[in-house]
Chain A
């Protein structure tokens, strides 16, 4: 009986529990995993996200003229599992606290996040390579020197030739 009165008084003080959502504000957990956002400035085009995605929601394509790599995230087949966010080495993918996913049918293919990574020319030859990223270099070497930056701007072939010449010629 005491429990009943406790509950009754509590309900009387706290008021209705109904969330006012369609007509008012709602709540979101702090770690809510919502729709994806993609930052092409941080991306290095490694396509790890495409590899780990369980639903093939991520499409990575090289552009026809070879000047870049295009990324497309289709939210209507994404489970919001967060694998791509977890495995992204530069944290270019994040999940916004946004649950507004109801769309009419004619916008079915418009709920996407898109972006392009522009390839840059190798410092020595004409080969196109993905741009290097300071965050990754710091993680790999700790302190980033100018020599490392110079080598990171080379394509793998040129870098191999550089090392060979330094060792054997």
Chain B
């Protein structure tokens, strides 16, 4: 498939904040995007719509308030998709673990593919994680078109 061949070269990134402290979001939206680190060199592009998303970057420990929004958002993201958990809150709950208002971590709700830990995550680690996610996404899209 010609389309899948070119699609693997330009995955679209989508961010979901599930009640994080905004540290990881700052690293994702500004630090990893500025010319200094430039996540777009890997062929990625941020999108504003979950329906266009290929690689989903989830931050935050899933608070009780954001739980329902996360569930509704995940329904809208089409397969094949790659889920990347950014920051220790998304991976394990971090400092907010076992708190009364925390429903996370993220892998209770969706099959996470890549974990990138840090508090907040270093921009180079985000690039590492996105590069890993692109590899996984290539495999997934091949499987999707074969079967």
- Which residues of chain A have a CB within 8 Å of any CB of chain B? 16-19, 21-22, 26, 54-56, 74-81, 99-105, 108, 111
A76-B115, A80-B119, A105-B115 are contacts. A19–B36 as well, Cβ < 8 Å?
yes
Give the docked Cα–Cα distance between A89 and B117 (Å): 27
Give me the interface of B with A, judged by CB distance under 8 Å.
35-38, 41-42, 88, 91-95, 97, 107, 111-119, 121-122, 124-125, 127-129, 131-132, 136
In the complex, what distance in Å separates the CA atom of A109 from the CA atom of B112? 13
- Given the known interface contacts A26-B124, A104-B136, the answer about A77 and B91 at a Cβ–Cβ threshold of 8 Å is yes
Partner of A21 from the list B92, B97, B113, B124 (CB cut-off 8 Å) is B124
Q: Give Cα A77–Cα B115 distance, bound, in whole angstroms.
A: 11
Task: Tell me which residues across on chain B come within 8 A of A54, comparing CB atoms.
Answer: 95
Cβ B97 vs Cβ A77 within 8 A = yes
Contact of A80 among B38, B42, B115, B118 (CB under 8 A): B118
Closest Cβ of chain A to B20, distance in Å, is 13
Known contacts A79-B119, A103-B115; 14 further A-B pairs (Cβ under 8 A):
A17-B35, A18-B38, A19-B36, A56-B97, A77-B93, A78-B88, A79-B95, A80-B118, A99-B118, A101-B116, A101-B118, A101-B121, A102-B128, A104-B114
- Chain A residues near B93 (CB, 8 Å)? 77
CB distance from A51 to the nearest CB of B (A): 16
Q: Are B88 and A79 in contact (CB under 8 A)?
A: yes
A104, B35: Cα distance in complex, Å: 27
- What's the Cα separation between A23 and B42 when bound, in Å? 10
Shortest B38–chain A CB gap in Å is: 5
Partner of A19, one of B37, B97, B129, B136: B37
Q: Which residues of B contact A17 (CB under 8 A)?
A: 35-36
Option from A77, A78, A99, A104 in Cβ contact (under 8 Å) with B125: A99
11 A-B contacts (beta carbon < 8 Å): A21-B124, A77-B94, A99-B118, A101-B125, A102-B125, A102-B129, A102-B131, A103-B117, A104-B132, A105-B107, A105-B115
- Among residues of A, the one whose C-beta sits closest to the C-beta of B92 is A77
Q: List, in ascending order, chain A residues with CB within 8 A of B97's CB.
A: 55-56, 77
Residues of A within 8 A of B122 (CB): 99, 101
Q: CA of A54 to CA of B94 in the docked complex: distance in angstroms?
A: 9
Q: Which of B35, B38, B42, B115 has the most CB of A within 10 A?
A: B115
Determine whether the beta carbon of A111 is less than 8 Å from that of B117.
Answer: yes
In contact, A76 and B112 (Cβ under 8 angstroms): no
Minimal beta-carbon separation of A85 from chain B (angstroms):
15
| Docked complex Cα distance between A152 and B114 (Å) | 48
**B125→A100 contact, CB < 8 A:** yes
